[in-house]
Amino acid sequence: MAFRQIPRNLFKLFLQGLLILAPISITIWTVVSAFYWIDGILPNLVHSLFPKFIGTEVDGAPKRIPGLGFIVFIGIALIVGYISPSFIVSRVVEFAEKILERTPGIKLIYSTIKDFFEAFAGNKRKFTKSVLVSIEAPDVWRVGFITQEELHQFELQEYVAVYVPQSYAFAGHLYFVKRDRVRILTDISSADAMKFAISGGVAEVEEQP
C-alpha cells in the first residue's frame, strides 16, 4: 500500500510546486518579454533609418546595449509628458491628430488605439466605476464597468453602456442595459473588481475602508 501511495504523493508535490512556480514564472516572463520588446524599439528604429550607424551583430541583428533602449524610451515618454501641456507642443499634437483622424483607414486604427489607452490611463479613464449588472436573468449578476452614462446617440434614454470582461482573457462584451439593472460597487476598488472578473472569481477582494 505504501508503495502505491508514492506516485500519488509525487503528483501532489508536483502540483504544489507548480502552484508556486507558475505564477512567479509567468509574471517574470511577461515582465522580461515586455522589457526586451521596449528595449529593442530604439535599436531597430535606428537600424532601419541608418543601417550603418550602430552596426550589426554576427546574426545580422542591430547592435544594442542592454537596457539603453528601455531607458531612452522611458526618458522620451517623460519628456513628451512634461512638455505636452505647452502651447506649441499641444498645437502640434492637435494638428497631427486631425490629420490621423481624417485619413481613411488610419483613422480607425489611431482612434481605436487612442481610446483604448485613454480608457486605462488618460484623463478619460472609463474603467473606474465598477458595477454588478443583471443581464440574462433577474437574479444572476456579472461584474462590469460603466463606460458611458448617456446613450442618446443610440436613442436609448434610460440605458447605460456596461463593459463585462471575460474570465482568463483580455476580452469582454459590451451591453446596453437599463439603469435599474445596475448596482454600483462602492465597497471594492475598480482594480479589484477587474481582477476578480478576469480570474473567474478566484481572486481575493479586499473591502474598501
Q: What is the pLDDT of residues 84-99, one digit of tens each?
A: 778 777 788 788 888 8
User: How far is 153 from 86, CA to CA, in rounded Å?
Assistant: 34
Q: Which residue has the higher pLDDT, 106 or 123?
A: 106
User: How far is 185 from 204, CA to CA, in rounded Å?
Assistant: 16
Instruction: Inform me whether the pLDDT recorded for 68 exceeds 80.
Output: no
pLDDT band, residue 183 (cuts 50/70/90): confident
Look at residue 51 in the predicted model and tell me its pLDDT.
65
Look at residue 108 in the predicted model and tell me its pLDDT.
74
Q: Which residue has the higher pLDDT, 75 or 64?
A: 75
Angle (nearest 5°) at CA 196 between 190 and 199: 135
